[in-house]
Amino acid sequence: MYTEKIKADLLKKDPDQKEFLQAAFEIIDSLDPVFKRHPEYEKADLLSRLTEPERVIMFRVPWVDDNGKVRVNRAYRVEFNSAIGPFKGGLRFSPSVNLSVIKFLGFEQIFKNALTGLPMGGGKGGSDFDPHGKSDMEVMRFCQSFMSELYRHIGPFTDVPAGDIGVGAREIGYLFGQYKKITNEHSWALTGKGVAYGGSLGRKEATGYGLLYFLQAMLKDHGLDLAGKSAVISGSGNVAIYAAQKAKELGLKVIAMSDSGGYIKDENGIDVETVKMIKEVKRGRISEYVTHHPEAEYQKDPRGIWQVVCDIALPCATQNELAEADAKELIANGVIAVCEGANMPCTPDAQRLLLENGILYGPGKAANAGGVAVSGLEMSQNSLRLCWTFEEVDSRLKEIMENIYATTAKVAKDYGHKGDLIVGSNIAGFLKVAEAMMAQGIV
């Protein structure tokens, strides 16, 4: 079978890229019914072309730390597919970054971006630089050195990076400053920019808010709503914080959050303002929460968060953070929905178990598409040289997330997998990219 052959080829070519293979196999496994309906796609060998990035850039980032010591990091930009628009996707700064991780993220981004309905191709980049414990000046010097190489590969019509783990408003500011200086242009080669210099209102909130809009649409479709229910949210970064903020607004009580050191549990409902102060302002540890809220508890193992009894689980930290044993625990404790703010947070075994047990499951490439969707709206505003209000952006975001839910649910049903949004999102994203690739010839 065509899809089995493609998987065997990938395994042979890059046997060590386990995250990439995981992401690619999940998508490829969803596509058998598409190739049955569209033999012309196999003839055009779409999958061999889609699974090979258009371009992979790997570069050295030398910088000098506060003690005058020379440091060297490795960086990447994987320009995966530009069939429907310029390469688009975040930059991740984390010691766990390697080519496999960036390829998995870039590959998923192709389909996620297609689901938004906006003209954006897929890409991802980053570095094994660890921002934890670095001074602002060290982060600035690193970002400047990083951009001194990256600038030649990006541009508003070519490739438009944004943030991801370890890359937030501070890093985007430094990256943009260096890009502008080298190119002598105030052009829009990055999104997630500060509102003061071309960013969009609502981008900071977009992934978390979008996740809740998606969750709300998914529950509504099953005759359920959020009010009065409880949730746990892993992570306490950009996605987790704004997911928690919107959850509270919608009457969903968030009782636990985490960081890479451990998790906090507060049965009164997590105070998001305290989390913001600790993580956004002080760049501190989530453990500090209990000094402000002594009634809350802190546990050292971040994974323990999945043992907290809740109605809804929102993994918003990192890949493979929720494994089969965690899914078992959640199911035993009566969870009704798992919706992914992070990219690929559930392992394949966990996904299977959740679906088999009838848990409502929102896969990341659909449920967390709100961030890149508002990046797309930032690009629209930049092109128009206009700034929309927060309300305008937020209402477009909500509409996009509701459309993504409706489309993925419909496509899943049309292809004989009612309720399986993994299949629905993979096929819906693929169909759009496939149509564009077929129209453009073998390029």
Catalytic residue IDs = 124
| Candidate ranges 58-66, 142-150, 341-349, 398-406; the one touching ligand NDP (CB under 6 A) | 341-349
The residues pairing with 92 across neighbouring beta strands, listed in sequence order, are 126
89 binds ligand NDP (CB under 6 A): no
Q: How far apart are alpha carbons 154 and 311 in whole angstroms?
A: 43
Query: Which positions from 60 to 99 touch ligand 2IT by CB under 6 A, shown as an x/- string?
Result: ----------------------------xxx---------
Residues 6+ apart with CB under 8 A from 100: 14, 16, 17, 18, 19, 20, 21
Which does residue 166 bind out of ligand 2IT, ligand NDP, none, counting CB within 5 to 8 angstroms by kind?
ligand NDP
343 binds ligand NDP (CB under 6 A): yes
316 binds ligand NDP (CB under 6 A): yes
Which does residue 317 bind out of ligand NDP, ligand 2IT, none, counting CB within 5 to 8 angstroms by kind?
ligand NDP
State both tokens at 250.
């919608």
Query: Which positions from 136 to 165 touch ligand NDP by CB under 6 A, shown as an x/- string?
Result: ---------------------------xxx
Comparing CB distances to ligand NDP, the nearer of 3 and 173 is 173
343 binds ligand 2IT (CB under 6 A): yes
Which does residue 354 bind out of ligand 2IT, ligand NDP, none, counting CB within 5 to 8 angstroms by kind?
none
191 binds ligand 2IT (CB under 6 A): yes
Residue of the chain from 375, 381, 382, 425 that contacts ligand 2IT (CB under 6 A): 375
372 binds ligand 2IT (CB under 6 A): yes
Listed residue (272, 283, 268) closest to 247, CA to CA: 272
253 binds ligand 2IT (CB under 6 A): no
Which does residue 259 bind out of ligand NDP, ligand 2IT, none, counting CB within 5 to 8 angstroms by kind?
ligand NDP
Q: How far is CA 213 from CA 227, 233, 355, 362, 398, in A?
A: 13, 15, 21, 11, 6
**3-class state of residue 257 by DSSP:** strand
Q: Whats the size of the chain, residue-wise?
A: 443
Q: How far apart are alpha carbons 306 and 317 in whole angstroms?
A: 13
Residues 6+ apart with CB under 8 A from 383: 188
259 binds ligand NDP (CB under 6 A): yes
Listed residue (341, 277, 275) closest to 313, CA to CA: 341
Q: How far apart are alpha carbons 111 and 400 in whole angstroms?
A: 15
Binding residues for ligand NDP restricted to 181-220, rule: CB under 6 A: 207
317 binds ligand NDP (CB under 6 A): yes
Comparing CB distances to ligand NDP, the nearer of 238 and 425 is 238
Q: How far is CA 157 from CA 82, 119, 161, 220, 381, in A?
A: 10, 11, 12, 38, 15
Taking the complex as a whole, the smallest distance from the CB of residue 320 to ligand 2IT amounts, in Å, to 15
**3-class state of residue 155 by DSSP:** strand
Comparing every residue's Cβ against ligand 2IT, the nearest one is: 90
DSSP string across 156-224: TTTEEEE-BTTB-HHHHHHHHHHHHHHHT----S-SS--GGGTPPTTHHHHHHHHHHHHHHHHHHHTT-
Which does residue 236 bind out of ligand NDP, ligand 2IT, none, counting CB within 5 to 8 angstroms by kind?
ligand NDP
| Candidate ranges 38-46, 216-224, 228-236, 408-416; the one touching ligand NDP (CB under 6 A) | 228-236
Binding residues for ligand NDP restricted to 349-368, rule: CB under 6 A: 368
Amino acid at 316: C
Listed residue (177, 191, 193, 179) closest to 148, CA to CA: 179
Taking the complex as a whole, the smallest distance from the CB of residue 167 to ligand NDP amounts, in Å, to 7
Binding site for ligand 2IT (CB under 6 A): 88-90, 109, 112, 162, 164, 191, 343, 371-372, 375
Binding site for ligand NDP (CB under 6 A): 163-166, 168, 207, 234-240, 258-261, 302, 316-318, 321, 341-343, 368, 371
